[in-house]
Amino acid sequence: MSASLNRKPPLFPETEEPEPDMADEDSDEGEDIFVSNSKPESVSRGVSQPERVPEEPEDLFSEERCRSTKANGVHPDDDTDLFAEARTDFNSDKSSSSAQKELSDTPSTSSFSRTPAALHSTSLEQLEEEEAKSSFDVDVAVTNPEKVGDGMNAYMAYKVSTRSSLSMFKSKAFTVRRRFSDFLGLYEKLSVKQSLHGCIIPPPPEKSVVGMTKMKVGMDDPSSVEFLERRRAALERFLQRVVSHPLLLQDPDVREFLERDDLPRAVNTQTLSGAGFLKMITKASDAVSKMTIKMNESDTWFEDKFQEVEAEEQQLRKLHVVVDSLVNHRKELCVNTAIFAKSMAMLGNSEDSTALSRALSQLAEVEDKMEQLHQEQAASDFFIFAELLADYIRLLAAVRGCFDQRVRSWQRWQEAQSTLQKKREAEAKLLWANKPDKLQQAKEEITEVCLVHNIVTFLLFWSSCCGGRAVGCIISATKALSLLKQEQSQF
Amino acid sequence: MTSLDDNSKEKLRSVSVDLNNDASLVIDIPDALCERDMVKFTVHTKTTLSSFQKPDFSVPRQHEDFIWLHDTLVETEEYAGLIIPPAPPKPDFESPREKMHKLGEGEASMTKEEYAKMKQELEAEYLAVFKKTVQVHEVFLQRLSSHPVLSKDRNFQIFLEYDQDLSVRRKNAKEMFGGFFKNMVKSADEVLISGIKEVDDFFEQEKTFLLDYFSKIKDSTAKAEKMTRSHKNIADDYIHISATLNAICAEDSVGVEIRGLLEGRVASDQELKLTELLRYYMRDIQAAKDLLYRRARALANYENSNKALDKARLKSRDIPQAEEHQQQCLQKFDRLSESAKKELTSFKGRRVMAFKKNLVEMAELEIKHAKVSLTAHPIKHTV
């Protein structure tokens, strides 16, 4: 039931075997870094699977074990340490041997006593044993879209199945039906709550009026089937990312989403609602404030990372555009080849020399077959390459959102500071003017403002830390694109 | 002799032509210059015939000169019963020029390597168009030279020999007007040829076949052109992708690049062999149709003369003139029919040979490309 499977066209059936291991790897406990690291890693692994089938199982198990030797939960003291590892992990060229080497260094720093020998065993039973001990193990899948209702009120309901051994869930495996607005509602709630902590909330797929109306009207053409498939895959990726982030998993909203049979309809995700308009207005005001107030960046690390993220995003966008045009041209080629094949067949028919006539009709048949191949190619181009790119672009946008949060907290901090300043001045003035009752009021106000100021300062630095770590993961994930091009060369 | 010559000549439509056993007149275009809008061909002749002044000589010719030669041949009455080889089409550098323009405009948005690669591809395309046009002109001359009757044509010899500018012999204004008139006549012919009652079975068959085949081959040519264009677009896209991937990742996306070049090559090969073949034969069939038109016109003349004779007999006036006229028409018609029959049969044989050769070559090239692409990136998964 792993996600990456569903995303691939049936061309890679033999990757089935290592898949379950990857899913379990996702569900690993341990540092949020590694877990979020594992997400891009598994994605890229999924894509490059064909080349590494014999090596994969070994690697996965060893890595998984390494992580399980880490302490559960977030350890602020180990922050820099782990982060450095995460970086080096992906700077190496993804060869399993080097990855193994890197990780085999870390157990020495862990507080758990686990023999290094455990690192190298590859048996399935040992993995399961690990799993039983690990406490973060959630596996979600989104399948089976069904049309519910009729006419303009129709919608697609997706089946969300969860398999988990975590104690916080009521049962081991359960299924609920959710619709697209439910996913959006979850995203909204999470971003409101968690973004203050500097987490990067994975982005949901976009709304599409055209696609949804087509579906509502009941048109059953291949493009709407495609649209549905894209949406389903994107929703699955979204959920998996949410679930593999330990902080987000703890959130009661997420649990409710996965478990509760009947979710209250998330109305504020509708574009035409009051909440929708409010969102647009806040977005506009944010954009304006971003332009007017420039934060003086004290931490160069953030400055660098921000530049990097922006550059990556631009590159990915360019690539996405080109890949899109490739897909379109290939579809055009399909159509043209089909037409040509038919015309050739007719020519062959009207030819009076029998040998040539046969040759021409055979040419027509070959062209027909080529057309089918081209179609397959176009489909796989699209599902693997283009969608992946779009996904990463959205993810990078979420990372930028995180940066923006930080800037916003900084702005609030500045405001709080200036308010504090003003209040202090007022107090001083009052002291000077010697009005005792007003003085008392002023003192109270100052304590209030001080409190706010402290809270905001704390949040700012907290978000800086969390955001920083998470950003590091995302940056390294884009380096996984170097594998993508290998994949592309096989097309 | 005719069919043999024609067969072996049609065999090679590429640069070198093995021109039959008769080496009395060997023509080729070894060189061509491209200036601005014009292409200057160097026509080189080697001959053992005494009718020429020198055994070996070259002259510069322009495209318009070829057209002039073709038109004069068509207008010559004696050759009415022959299939005149179709005139070579005007050299068309429009498409690569347009692309070059677009490339220049988009230069700012591309990296240097990308730009260099696209430029290379464009130059290759330009070269391909150039080669094609030289080939087509060469084939035209060679077909003329191997035709027993046409090779002795006076105008043809002038074309080959006259070392000064031929433009004095071209009366441009008259040509243009004549061209317009010709088109009108042609469409009238179409009506004529479909309306006339055919006495000879052979011609009846040929007529239906040619008309039908022409429309189909025209259709196929258009579709083939569209297909090759899509292929070229894809090849361009591959180049863009490889360049962008290069920018993103440290390593070189060599795989994608090779793929792009291969696609480009497949597209251009396909074009050269298949599309060109179809295009050429479309024109050739048009020429065959022209022969049929001429014959139909002769037949119509004959029938008209018959009617005139009958009328004259009725009026008992000018009978001998009418009789003579009728005899002439009959003779002409018979002669036409005879030579037309010969020409059309040989034409059929030629066509089949040419198709066979080109299709085989195209298939071999595509196999070669496929093998290269397979070995360059071994597909590691077992599907």
Q: How many residue contacts between A and B have a Cβ separation below 8 Å?
A: 124
State whether A312 and B227 contact (CB < 8 Å). Answer: no
Q: How far is B12 from chain A (nearest CA, A)?
A: 18
Interchain pair A347, B220: CB under 8 A? yes
Lowest mean pLDDT among A29-43, A315-329, B343-357: A29-43
Are the C-beta atoms of A123 and A21 separated by less than 8 Å?
no
Confidence grade of residue B327 (pLDDT, cut at 50, 70, 90): confident
Phi, psi of B45 (to 5 degrees): -120, 140
User: A326 vs B359: CB contact, 8 Å cut-off?
Assistant: no
User: What value does the mean pLDDT of chain A take?
Assistant: 63
- Closest CA of chain B from A234, distance in Å: 24
CB contact under 8 A, B249 and A11: no
Contact call for B220 and A343, based on CB within 8 A: yes
Q: How many residues does chain B have?
A: 383
Nearest-CA distance A378 → chain B (Å): 11
The H or E element that residue A160 is part of is strand A155-164
For residue B253, give the nearest of A329, A333, A485 by CB distance: A485
Residue A14: per-residue pLDDT = 35
Strand, helix or coil for residue A175: strand
Q: Do A485 and B255 touch (CB under 8 A)?
A: yes
Q: Which of A421-430, A449-458, B236-245, B254-263 has the highest mean pLDDT?
A: A421-430
* Comparison of pLDDT for A240 and A209, the residue scoring more: A240
pLDDT at B347: 82
Q: Is the pLDDT of residue B153 over 50?
A: yes
Strand duo B56-62 + B38-47: pairing = antiparallel
Closest-CA distance of chain B to residue A160, Å: 31
Give me the residues of A, 302-331, that contact B with CB < 8 A: 312, 315-316, 318-319, 322-323, 325-326, 329-330
Nearest Cα residue to B292 out of B122, B108, B84: B84
Least confident of A310-319, A393-402, B3-12, B251-260: B3-12
> Contact B237/A51, CB-based, under 8 Å?
no
Question: Alpha-carbon distance A45 to A5, whole Å?
Answer: 11
Q: How confident is the model at residue A237 (pLDDT cuts 50, 70, 90)?
A: confident
Confidence band (pLDDT; 50, 70, 90) for A93?
very low
* A257-271, A291-305, A438-452, B115-129, range with the lowest pLDDT: A257-271
Any CB–CB contact under 8 A between A92 and chain B? no
Nearest to A318 among B244, B251, B259 (CB): B244
What residue of A is the nearest CA neighbor of B352? A356
Q: What is the pLDDT of residues A437-468, one digit of tens each?
A: 777 777 777 777 777 777 766 766 666 666 66
A64 touches chain B (CB under 8 A): no
Instruction: List residues of chain B with CB under 8 Å from any CB of chain A.
Output: 209, 212-213, 216-217, 219-220, 223-224, 226-227, 229-231, 233-234, 237-238, 240-241, 244-245, 247-251, 253-256, 258-259, 348, 352, 355-356, 359, 377, 379-383
- The mean pLDDT of B233-247, rounded to a whole number, is 76
What was the pLDDT predicted at A463? 63
Query: What pLDDT is attached to residue A133?
Result: 37
- Quick check: A316 and B248 CB within 8 A? yes
pLDDT attached to residue A75: 35
- Per CB-CB distance under 8 Å, the chain A contacts of B254 are 489
Distance CA B272, CA A385 (A): 32
Give the confidence band of B304 by pLDDT, cuts at 50, 70, 90: confident
3-state secondary structure (DSSP) of residue A138: strand
Of A250-254, A482-486, B260-264, which has the strongest mean pLDDT?
A250-254
* Nearest-angstrom CA–CA distance, A240 and A219: 30
> Given this model, what pLDDT does residue B288 score?
80
Q: Following DSSP, what letter does each residue of B145-171 receive, concatenated?
A: HHSTTGGG-HHHHHHHH--S-GGGG--
A322 CB neighbours in chain B (<8 A) are 237, 240-241, 244
Residue A194 pLDDT: 67
Q: Do B356 and A359 touch (CB under 8 A)?
A: yes
CB A241 within 8 A of CB A438: no
Least confident span in A93-102, A233-242, A447-456, B75-84: A93-102
Among the partner residues A322, A355, A479, nearest to B237 by beta-carbon distance = A322
B251 min Cα distance to partner chain A (Å): 7
> With 80 as the cut, is the pLDDT of residue A490 above it?
no
Alpha-carbon separation of residue B353 from A239, A355, B99 (angstroms): 64, 11, 36
- What is the nearest CA distance from A57 to chain B, expressed in angstroms? 17
d(CA A61, nearest CA chain B) in Å: 23
Rounded-to-integer distance, Cα A452 and Cα A446, Å? 10
Mean pLDDT confidence for B90-105:
80
What are the pLDDT digits (tens) for A23-58?
333 333 333 333 333 333 333 333 333 333 333 333
Residues above pLDDT 90, as percent of chain A: 0
What pTM was computed for the model? 0.62
B248: nearest CB among A329, A330, A481: A481
Contact residues for B295 (Cβ-Cβ < 8 A; gap 6+):
B80, B81, B203, B333, B336, B337, B340
Over 60: is that where the pLDDT of A83 sits?
A: no
* Residue A59 clears pLDDT 50, i.e. is over it: no
pLDDT at B259 over 80: no
Question: Up-side HSE of residue A44: CA atoms within 13 Å toward CB?
Answer: 23
pLDDT, residue A328, reads 84
| Residue with more model confidence, A242 or A41 | A242
Place of tokens 């302490």: A71
Query: How high is the pLDDT of residue B252?
Result: 54
Ranked by mean pLDDT, which of A30-44, B212-226, B227-241 comes out on top?
Answer: B212-226
Residue with more model confidence, B237 or B380: B237
How distant is the Cα of A155 from the closest Cα of chain B, in angstroms? 37
**Which DSSP category does B90 fall into?**
P
Q: Which two tokens stand for residue A365?
A: 């048949």
The reported pLDDT for the residue numbered B168 is 53
Higher pLDDT, A165 or A136: A165
A342-389 pLDDT, tens per residue? 888 888 887 777 788 888 888 888 888 888 888 887 777 777 777 778
- Which of A239-243, A280-284, A463-467 is predicted least confidently? A463-467
Cβ separation A489–B212 shorter than 8 A: no
pLDDT at A185 over 60: yes
Residue B93 has pLDDT above 70, yes or no: yes
Task: Give the mean model confidence (pLDDT) for residues B216-239.
Answer: 81
Distances A446 to A319, A334, A416, A434 between C-alpha atoms, Å: 53, 72, 11, 17
Contact check, Cβ <8 Å, B213/A351: yes
Residue A158 has pLDDT above 60, yes or no: yes
Closest CA–CA distance from residue B248 to any residue of chain A (Å) = 6
User: What is the DSSP pairing of strand A155-164 with strand A173-179?
Assistant: antiparallel
CA distance B291 to chain A (A): 20
Side-chain half-sphere CA neighbours of A478 within 13 A: 31
CB-nearest partner of A329 from B230, B255, B381: B230
> Is A347 touching B (CB cutoff 8 A)?
yes
A354 shares contact with chain B (CB less than 8 Å): no
pLDDT given for residue A25 in this prediction: 35
CB contact under 8 A, B220 and A319: no
In this complex, do B213 and A347 lie within 8 Å of one another by their Cβ atoms?
yes
